[in-house]
Amino acid sequence: MDKKIEELITYNFVDYKTYQSYEALLNEQVIGTCNYSVDKGKAWLYIVRVAEPFRKYGIGGNLIRLMENDCALRRVREIEGKYFPQGEEDSVVRKFYAKHGYSIYDEGYEHFVSKFSPEKQDISGLKITKSKGMEK
Ligand SMILES: CC(C)(COP(=O)(O)OP(=O)(O)OC[C@H]1O[C@@H](n2cnc3c(N)ncnc32)[C@H](O)[C@@H]1OP(=O)(O)O)[C@@H](O)C(=O)NCCC(=O)NCCS
């Protein structure tokens, strides 16, 4: 696939009120999502996922940077999340979070990730839109 695909992606911020989402769109199709919520200075990262054919183009990284940027602007002190990758995906996801500065820890069968004091990110090259979401 043409590596220039990343230039065709638009990132849409959706405010569902109880949580926020950045979605990566290609020809109006959602091909990646990062869902999170913020409460009392703490962010809970529900999921970051990119559809398989579109992985390794930097889209997941952009989604996580957009989420972190929003958290920094909202003075979040810590981002925490739980993930459930299966099989081979586990090492991919661990590497992905480690690369973005998250610590990873296991409690029993559950995996958690966490990062303190997220910082503003340079998101100037990304095409970003905003919309209001209906409560799901
Ligand atoms: C984890 C996940 C979100 C990463 O998404 P992604 O879009 O592939 O992420 P990125 O492209 O930013 O980074 C992945 C790799 O691609 C590489 N990459 C980025 N842009 C690239 C490019 N243009 N060409 C080649 N490689 C590239 C990155 O360097 C990175 O490689 P590394 O791990 O060796 O450092 C994705 O694999 C996924 O959805 N996994 C399953 C869902 C899941 O379990 N999520 C966990 C939360 S519940």
Using CB distances shorter than 6 Å, the residues near ligand 1 are 3, 47-50, 55-61, 83-85, 89, 92-93, 95-96, 99
d(CA 57, CA 46): 22
Say whether pLDDT at 63 is over 80.
yes
**Interval 2-12 mean pLDDT:** 85
Q: What is the pLDDT of residue 37?
A: 98
- Ligand 1 centroid–CA 54 distance in Å is 9
- Residues 20-45 pLDDT 10s: 999 999 999 999 999 999 999 999 99
Q: What is the pLDDT of residue 136?
A: 58
CA 94-86-98 angle, 5° bins: 5
- Ligand 1 centroid–CA 93 distance in Å is 8
d(CA 36, CA 20): 5
- Residues 71-116 pLDDT 10s: 999 999 999 998 777 667 888 999 999 999 999 988 888 889 999 9
Q: What is the pLDDT of residue 16?
A: 94
Q: What is the pLDDT of residue 84?
A: 73
Instruction: For ligand 1, pick from 36, 57, 83, 123 the residue to mutate: most ligand atoms within 8 Å of CB.
Output: 57
Topology (CATH level 3) of domain 3-121: Aminopeptidase (3.40.630)
Q: What is the pLDDT of residue 133?
A: 82
Using 50, 70 and 90 to split pLDDT, how confident is the model at 3? low
